[in-house]
Structure formats: structure tokens, C-alpha cells
Amino acid sequence: MEPEKGARWLAPEESEAWLAVWTMTVWLPVRLDAQLRQDSDLSLPEYHALSQISMAPERTLRLSELAVVANMTLSHLSRVVSRLEKAGWVRRIPDPADGRYTLARLTDEGWHKVAAAAPEHVDAVRRYVFDSLTPEQKRALGEAAARVVEALGPPGIARA
């Protein structure tokens, strides 16, 4: 098969960077999930949902908003929240401002669970992401990641 002549192929340094980004996006969640399961008996999506709810005002967040910030479909989030609810860490309640929506509210037990899991999780993030970087590299990583996220556009909107 002949390569397409009009394609915008990656330059060698772009290809090297892309392979590093791809490897990071595949392996970092795997490592963080393993750490959370071992240390806290939580999956990465469960921890992420709990942590996002814990940072919301009154530790309460609309499920539709949680799906966006947790980067989950509503059906996946529903399964995650069902597990959290069964464990007693989250309660689903109708949104008093608009009954068409459902809220996820962190229980006191949920707050204690996420607070207990956070130190070891943050340590793993530091170990895997930040400890081997200089301050300049940390800034560059944050800026580069923000630009990539910006190019992706709002969640749920496909871009060409």
C-alpha cells in the first residue's frame, strides 16, 4: 500500500513525542488504578468520581456534570455510582432546583474513604508524573496538556 501523498506525516521528533504521549495515556491510568485498588480498594474511576464530588459545593454534584468532569458516559457513570452507593459512600437524590436531574451527594463515609485514599494516590501521581521532572518541565507539561485539551474541544463534541 502506497502512503497517501497529501498526508501530513509526523516529523521524527513529533513521532517520538506522540509515542511517549500514547504510552503515558495508556500506562499511567493502569498504574494509578493498580495503586488505588491495592491501597484503597477503589478503582480509578471510583476514586475520580468520589474526588470530584468531594470538591463540589456541599459535596454534591449533578450526575450529568460529574460525567463530563470524570470523562465517563452516563451509563458508565451510573454503574460506578451504583457501586459507590452500595458501599454507602454516595447517595443519589433528586435535584431540588430541577427534578429532571439527579445529584450525587457524598456521605460522611464517602468523605472519609476519599480522604483516606488521597495521600497515597497523590504520592503515586508525584512518583509517576512529577518527581522526575524539573520545574520547567512541569510547567511545560501543564501548558502542553492544556493546549491539547483545548484542541480536543468541549467533552462530547467530536472534532475533525
In the prediction, which pLDDT does 19 show? 96
Backbone angles phi, psi at 89, to 5 degrees: -95, -20
Determine, yes or no, domain membership for 139: no
- Residue holding cell 500506562? 27
Question: What is the count of structural domains for the chain?
Answer: 1
Determine, yes or no, domain membership for 100: yes
DSSP state of 113: H
Q: Are 112 and 54 in contact (CB under 8 A)?
A: no
In the prediction, which pLDDT does 152 show? 86
Give the amino acid at 69: V
Reduced to 3 states (helix: H, G, I; strand: E, B; else coil), residue 93 is strand
Reduced to 3 states (helix: H, G, I; strand: E, B; else coil), residue 4 is coil
Looking up residue 70, the CATH number of its domain turns out to be 1.10.10.10
In the prediction, which pLDDT does 158 show? 44
In the prediction, which pLDDT does 3 show? 62
In the prediction, which pLDDT does 81 show? 97
Determine, yes or no, domain membership for 95: yes
Determine, yes or no, domain membership for 134: no
In the prediction, which pLDDT does 156 show? 53
In the prediction, which pLDDT does 153 show? 81
Render each residue's pLDDT in the chain as its tens digit; 160 residues.
Answer: 566 678 999 999 999 999 999 999 999 999 999 999 999 999 999 999 999 999 999 999 999 999 998 889 999 999 999 999 999 999 999 999 998 999 999 999 999 999 999 999 999 999 999 999 999 999 999 999 999 989 988 665 444 4
- 58 HSE (CA, 13 A, CB side): 7
d(Cα 64, Cα 76) in Å, to the nearest integer?
A: 12
Reduced to 3 states (helix: H, G, I; strand: E, B; else coil), residue 141 is helix
Domain enclosing residue 60, as ranges: 15-120
- Structure pTM? 0.86
